[in-house]
Amino acid sequence: MGRPFTFPDRTIVVTGGANGIGYARAERFLAEGAARVVLADLDGERAAAAAAELGARAQGYQLDVTDAEAVAALIEEVERDSPIDLWCSNAGVTTGGGLGSDADWDRTWRVHVLAHVYVARLLLPRMVERGGGHLLITASAAGLLTNIDSAPYSVTKHGAVALAEWLAILHGDEGIDISCLCPMGVNTAMTAKDGPDAATRLGGDYLEPEDVAQSVVEALNEGRFLILPHPKAAVMEQRRASDRDRWLAGMRRARARLKGGSGR
């Protein structure tokens, strides 16, 4: 268990912050008393508009999280005014199904893994030097279980979870706290086109972004590493760990049901 995180007077950066759970978290952090929330997004115009919606304590910036130099520049820009207390490394992408193309693997690897590595390299040493800070990596329940629709998505989200765990082990005794957010289906632009046979339907009803923001605030207040807005994910992960063969067979049956087959 890490240190409880409180929001008053804090400076927070949220990547992928112009929409979805990134925007919902930014809105909630401000409601909790954050002094300053920076919304960073590949769509700079939308980030600026979203910040304007949230008021004077929000700022919007264009950021490609896969560009280490751009990440370094944003950190430098934000910390001219105040040190970053919490960085929510939240940007994500979807790709085609199945094994995907080489381009799918490259894109998901850069966004779902390397983007977090860049933040860890560039920001965590600053946090260590000043004796405190928090990094929240958004992975997915697919990183604890699997996403049977997309190998690139599933594998890189597993990588995000593994990186978060590694960072928590490395920096936990240096005043740095790491959290890992692993939701199942959430009603966002990324899931808007999900059909009835989408793998994310295995988690049941989709949550709203505001529900995820609530789970994040509660977990940060309690100093928890793993944030599971869908409690079902914990049960499924325990089953996976206790009997992998049985879990794999169950996932095959679930896939067959989703695709209209009978399974066995």
Which residues are designated catalytic?
153
Tokens of 141: 């329940």
Cα distances (Å, whole numbers) of residue 245 to 70, 145, 157, 194, 251: 44, 13, 21, 28, 10
Cβ(65)–Cβ(115) below 8 Å: yes
Cβ(40)–Cβ(121) below 8 Å: no
Tokens of 209: 């972004």
Cβ(238)–Cβ(194) below 8 Å: no
Cβ(21)–Cβ(186) below 8 Å: yes
Tokens of 126: 């600053």
Cα distances (Å, whole numbers) of residue 86 to 29, 34, 127, 196, 212: 11, 10, 10, 36, 17
Cβ(210)–Cβ(255) below 8 Å: no
**Placement of tokens 């002094």 in the chain:** 35
Task: Tell which residue, 153, 68, 74, 150, has the closest CA to residue 108.
Answer: 153
Please state, in angstroms and rounded to a whole number, the distance separating the CA atoms of residues 60 and 236: 37
